[in-house]
Amino acid sequence: NAGVTQTPKFQVLKTGQSMTLQCAQDMNHNSMYWYRQDPGMGLRLIYYSASEGTTDKGEVPNGYNVSRLNKREFSLRLESAAPSQTSVYFCASSGMGGRSGNTIYFGEGSWLTVV
C-alpha cells in the first residue's frame, strides 16, 4: 500500500539550477497538493490540483510551476532555484478535499537545499 510517493527524498541544488519533484498517488484521489514546510511556519500550500487537468495557486506559488500529468501524478518544478526555496516539500492527495472531512494523505517529504 504505497499511498503517496514522492522523489527524490534529498537534493542539493546550486542557485539558478532547475529541478522537478515527482509525486504519484495510487489511491485514485482527485485532489493533489504541494506544500512546503519551513521551521516555525508550519506547512504552506504552493499549488493544488482539484482534478486532472486543473491547477491553482496556493499561498506561496512564486518561483514554482506544476503539472498534473494524469490523475496519479502531480509534479512540482523549480525553474531557477534560489536559497529561499531551501525547504522540505510535501506532496499530498485527497479524495474530495478536506471540506467534507476527507483526509489528506501526505508523502514522506523531499528535503531540498539550494546553495
Partner 1 sequence: GNSVTQMEGPVTLSEEAFLTINCTYTATGYPSLFWYVQYPGEGLQLLLKATKADDKGSNKGFEATYRKETTSFHLEKGSVQVSDSAVYFCALSDQGSQGNLIFGKGTKLSVKP
Give the residues lining the site for partner 1 (CB under 8 A).
Answer: 4, 31, 33, 40-45, 48, 50, 56, 58, 90, 94, 96-109
Q: Which is nearer to partner 1, 16 or 98 (CB)?
A: 98
**Shortest distance, position 14 Cβ to partner 1, whole Å:** 25
What sign does the CA torsion over 20, 86, 5, 52 have? negative
User: Cα dihedral sign for 111, 7, 21, 91?
Assistant: negative
Tell the smallest beta-carbon distance from residue 68 to partner 1 (Å): 13
| Nearest to partner 1 of 13, 92 (CB atom) | 92
Cα 53 from chain centroid (whole Å)? 16
* Three-state secondary-structure class, residue 2: coil
Alpha-carbon torsion 68, 31, 8, 42, what sign? positive
**Smallest separation (angstroms) from partner 1 to the CB of 89:** 11
Give whichever of 19 and 45 is closer to partner 1, judged by the CB atom.
45
